[in-house]
Amino acid sequence: MGEYPPSVHSGTVEADERLVVALDFGTTYSGVAICSPHLHHKDPITIMNWPGPVGATDPKTPTVIRYSTTNSTQYEWGNLVRAAKDPNMGPTIVGIKLLLNPGTQDKDKPSHWPTGITDKILDAANLPKSAVQVAADYIRAIINHAEKEMTQNVPASYLETCRKEYVMSVPAAWSDKAKDATERAAKAAGISNVNIIKEPEAAALFVLRKMKNTLSVGDAFVLCDAGGGTVDLISYEIQLIEPTLKLKELVPGQCRTDGSLSLNWRFADEVRRLVGDDQWEWLKDHRAYQYAEKQWETEVKRSYDGDEGDGLFINFPRAKLTVRKGNKGFDGRSWEIPK
């Protein structure tokens, strides 16, 4: 495990020894990193191994959860939800984070954003739980798993006895009510001593740390944090670099509920229009759509560059879909999306 101070090996913790656990609780993906001045490895350590059939080595896991239809204390989360449909499990709950700030969903939302999303998601799952309780279940799961993974870098005895401080990020325009809901969810998940930081501030600190040698006091920059549920735009001026970085917000940050998740919902709407309502009812639960959805998320959406040219393809293997009249570029198994 590398070289550590004597206290790390012995489990005897000094009063000022602390471990910072950062939780990036995102709308579509979430991740955890740890850092401590008392560890030999001074840079943040990112959790890379997550449960599920999709694969282990990735810094993020999907922010999704689904509950047992008979016991609301049993649930699957992250990549585990991507397994084949299970009749014993309820519908997949997405956008867990947005459930904590329902007001944002009604302000300046795009036309394809579902209305009444909080009520619809929780009602469809038929859960005797609030949005805060659902978020707490997911946070508890991801933190418990992350703490087990931390023993790959830090002795378990030290983890049990050191002082842990947790940091969670929220959108720049997150309301006070939403911040309170986020803190309540964290506490319900068993996390105490939680510090809330704005997402663009966290992004700025990371980028500036990497660009430290190219920046000077007085420099100004604009940061765009385009996430899964929200897009933050904010501007900063560098006031101090050493001994600690100090930033000044130049213009009040702007936040819009129009992130990557809305593109996924729009993709689902387009597929439904393409195949028709009757075929959509069985396709949406078919492995062919799961494959197409994954292809959209990991290939098509990420490779789009705005240049006109050849179209992008989405495949529905073994679906044997009927081609509806007027749907150009679709042959029943493959759909060409024009640029």
pLDDT above 90 covers a percentage of the chain that reads 19
Residues 244-255: pLDDT tens digits? 778 888 887 777
Residues whose CB falls within 8 Å of the CB of residue 314, separated by 6 or more in sequence, listed in order: 271, 292, 295, 296, 300, 334, 335, 337
Question: 50 near 58, Cβ under 8 Å?
Answer: yes
Out of 12-21, 148-157, 179-188, least confident range: 12-21
Closest CA to 274 of 290, 289, 295: 289
Closest CA to 279 of 292, 297, 298, 296: 292
Residues 108-120: pLDDT tens digits? 555 545 544 555 6
Residues 51-77: pLDDT tens digits? 876 555 688 898 989 998 888 899 999
Out of 145-149, 175-179, 301-305, least confident range: 301-305
Most confident of 90-99, 155-164, 197-206, 267-276: 267-276
Residues 289-303: pLDDT tens digits? 988 988 998 888 877
Q: Token pair for residue 121?
A: 């998601």
Q: Is the pTM of this model over 0.85?
A: no
Calculate the alpha carbon distances from 64 to 59, 95, 171 in Å.
Answer: 16, 7, 19
Of the chain, the end-to-end C-alpha distance in Å amounts to 50
Residues 127-142: pLDDT tens digits? 788 889 999 999 999 9
pLDDT number for residue 285: 80
List of domains in the chain: 6-197 (3.30.420.40), 199-256 (no CATH), 260-337 (no CATH)
Give residue 106's pLDDT band: very low, low, confident or very high (50, 70, 90).
Answer: very low
How many Cα atoms are found within 13 Å in the side-chain-facing hemisphere of 52? 24
Angle CA(295)–CA(100)–CA(34) in degrees, nearest 5? 70
Give residue 327's pLDDT band: very low, low, confident or very high (50, 70, 90).
Answer: confident
To the nearest whole number, what is the mean pLDDT of the chain? 80
